[in-house]
Structure formats: C-alpha cells, structure tokens
Structure 1
Amino acid sequence: MKKFGFTLLLLLTSNIYSETINGHTLPPEPDPKINNSTLLGIDSNNNGVRDDVERWIYKTYKDKHPIHIDIAMQAGRAYKKVLETPKRAKEIHNIVSAPVYCEGYFRVFADMFGDTKYIQQKILGTSFDNIYFNISERNNAYLQYQQHLSGDIYLVPRPSKGKNFCDFNTSKYE
C-alpha cells in the first residue's frame, strides 16, 4: 500500500511539472494558502519570480511576441526586491524601474524604426501590480516602498536608451 501511495505522489508531481509553454516548463501551481502565507510566496524553481506570477506571465503572454515574457519576468524579479526591502526604496529604485524603461524602448522607440510590432498592449502597470501585490501584506510593502520614494525627483531615461535597462539578451529580438 505504501508503494502505491508513493507511485501516485510521483505521478501527480511529474504531471504538475509537465506543463510547458513556448519551451518553458512551468513550476507547479502553488497552494494559495501556503503561497500567500509569506510575503515572498513560493519560488520552487528559484528563478527569482514567485510561481503563481511566473505561471500567470507565461499563460497571459504565450501568444504574444516573446519579449512580453522577458520583460514581465524581469519585473517579477525586480518587484521581489520591493517585498524584501521596501525601506531601501531609493537604493533599489533603478532596479525596480528598469523593466518599465525596457518596455518603453520596445513599445515606443524600437517599433518606430522597424517592421516588428513588439508590444501591442502595455505589459507593466495596474494589471501586473494587482497580480504581484495580490494580498494586503504585499500591497502594504509596495505602499511602504512608494512612501520611501516620496519627495524625491527621479529622472526617466530617453526611450532610445531604454534597451540598456533590459536584464536579458535583447539582440535576439533585433
């Protein structure tokens, strides 16, 4: 009987990991109760993006230009810093803003000079924030981060320089 239970568990586990989108094996869907019991949630593949967020990104953008996934994953890694250290907002601001600048380059600037329409809908913004900061503790960390930024002036780079803020290999798209 024990052997059967182990085999069944192994089968269930292997089926959870068998979901692949665009060649990427998704982590298993985390139990919401466990995932939301901590600020950082579950990141079973240790790629810096919470599993529920990673699954949402790949499922939401699977039929879009692949750059959507790269930018959203970069934002997921950056937003983790907000949850870890909201009081260091001024130190991490450039990391957290980098995916927005990267998106701006590919949404506005890169599209002006080529035939490829990279991004047809905004990736980062309220929808992404609502997925990432989906419980009150995460939202409070984000508000705390915003409060620590308050009162300062932050320069936004020219859209033509936004590509420099991408943390992935952009040459595969150009």
Structure 2
Amino acid sequence: MRRPFLAALLTTTLLVPAFAAPPLPEWREGDGYLIGVAVQYQGQTYRALQSHTAQKGANWNPASTPALWQLHHGPVQRCSPWQAGYSYQLGDQIRYEGDYYRARQAHTAHAGTEWQPPRVPALWQPIAQCDAVTPVPPGNTDTINGIKVPPDPGAAGRKTLAGIDADNDGVRDDVQRFLAQEVGKHPARFKYAMEMARITQQEILTAGGNDREKARALFNQWRMSSSCFERTYGPTQEYEWRLNFSKRYEALHANTPDRMTAYRKGDELVGGMMFRSPVRYQCD
C-alpha cells in the first residue's frame, strides 16, 4: 500500500501525457514540488527548500513562504533546511535562513533548545555553500555505470537499522549501489530513485516515533519523487522490468527483521489516512 509502484504504472496511461516543461516553469497553486526544483514567480526565480504540495487556499507562494522557497540568485547546491528535533551527524550540511552550515559534531537539535546554527557555533560551522554530496574519502569508492559509489558494506551494513551511509547522502550504501546498477545509466531516473530512497530511509528511521503527521508528510514527498521517476518512462515502457524493480527495491529496504518491522510500522501509520494529489508534479 505504501509503495504504489503498481498503481502508478497502471494509472500512467490515465495521466496527462508527459509535457515538455519550460526551463523555469511558473509556480502554480495545487502543484507538488520536489526539493531543489526551480520555478518562476512574479518575475523572480525560486528554488524549493523542501518537497511539498502547494495546498490550494494556503497562499504558499514562493514570495510568502521562505520556509519552503529560496530566492535564487545563482547556482544553489542541494542540501536540506535545518529542522528542530532532527539528529545531525558530523559533517552534515544544511541551509538556515539563506546561509549554509556544516555540523562540527554529532547532536540532536532538541525542540525548545533554540540550537539554530547561528546561535551555536560550537555545533555549526558556516560554509560558502553546500556540496551536492559529501564525498567519500579518495580511493574508497567504486564506479557503477559511471557513478562513484561507496564500497559494498556487506554484512556490516545489516547490523543496525540505519545501516552504513559512508558518503552521508541519506541513502544506505547497499541501496545506492543497487540504484546505480539498475538505473544509473539514466541521470534523471537515478536522481529520482535516490530521492525516493532518502525518503524511504527517513520513514524507516522515524517510524518508531509514532508521528502520523510526519509519516503523512514523508509519504507525500515519496509520491512526488515516485511520480517524477515514472515520468522518465513512456506509459508502457519496460512495464515488467519496473514491476520487478519495485519488488527488489522494497525487499532491499526491508532486508532485516528490524527494518521489516519499521517498514510495516510505517504502513500502519499512514493506514486509513486521506491523501490529496496536486494537479501535477513539477519535475526537473
């Protein structure tokens, strides 16, 4: 239920045919936006700070919602906005009020502590901009379909719920290697598959918190990434392969008892919820 690849495939022919979006599409109320997507609004260019749906009537236009949109003056590298309540690892890179920071030490930004990056220089180091991905140490990478990936974590990668993420990109190393092998020859396909995997990992790691609204938000983000992934194919292109891919994708994410438990818990959290799809998704 929570990974509706089959539903997406079956409804592909019912969707509006894939359109050739202009280089910078106009922002529209009701659309869904992935993190990093650029849009035009009132003659200005904005980039999405987080994946979201511009709910109708909420007035979440780029000029009015700095938590969701950043005015774009030049190249902006992808990194997540700082959020209270999150656990950060050494080297994590974030955005906060238009500035960029790298974590000096691992910590949890407990709600109410007011540990915003500018307030705690012992925890956050200002940087010029975020790297697209925290690089893996030189000499400690493999190349799959032209993509540099961390080494195979092997059995060590199954010892904990989080597994091993050597390059700190939010995706387990074994999952990243799988995606590079399966869809790495297609840059856009690989990008959206990685975004799906990041969100799935967050769902697994946060399922134990029983936060249904957070589960709903993550699920909506995953649906947007999944929609963009599907649009890299034609309506019936490689249908059987995509069904098989979805099964292996899910099996890999839930490949230990703890991960399977968390995966099922995520299903329970969103069970019975109502979801409203935007008119369309904006994909890069």
Q: Please confirm whether the aligned pair reaches a TM-score higher than 0.5, indicating the same fold.
A: yes
1:125 matched to which residue of 2? 246
| Higher RCO (CA 8 Å, separation ≥ 6 residues) | 1
Look up the match of 1:99.
225
Q: Within 1, Cα distance between the matches of 2:171 and 2:231?
A: 23
The structure with the largest helix share of the pair is 1
Q: Deviations over 1:115-157 (max 9, x none)?
A: xx7x764286222111122112111111111111111222334
Tell me, yes or no, if the aligned pair for 2:171 and 2:197 is still in contact at 8 Å.
yes
Contact 1:101/1:157, CA 8 A, preserved across alignment: no
Partner residue in 1 for 2:109:
none
1:48 matches 2:174: no
Q: Which amino acid aligns with 1:92?
A: L
Amino acid of the residue matched to residue 152 of structure 2? E
Structure 2 CA distance, aligned partners of 1:26 and 1:100? Answer: 22
Kindly provide the amino acid, as one letter, of the partner of residue 137 in structure 1.
D
1:19-168 alignment runs, 5 A limit: 19-32=142-155, 34-62=156-184, 64-86=185-207, 87-88=210-211, 89-108=215-234, 121-122=241-242, 125-158=246-279, 161-162=280-281, 164=282, 166=283
Q: Percent identity?
A: 26
For residues 99 and 133 of structure 1, the distance between their equivalents in structure 2, rounded to whole angstroms, comes to 19
TM-score (norm 1): 0.68
- Richer in strand (by share): 2
Amino acid at match of 1:139: M
TM-score (norm 2): 0.44
Amino acid at match of 2:246: G
Cα RMSD of the aligned pairs, angstroms, is 2.7
Task: Count the aligned residue pairs.
Answer: 141
- C-alpha distance in structure 1 between counterparts of 2:256 and 2:278, whole Å: 32
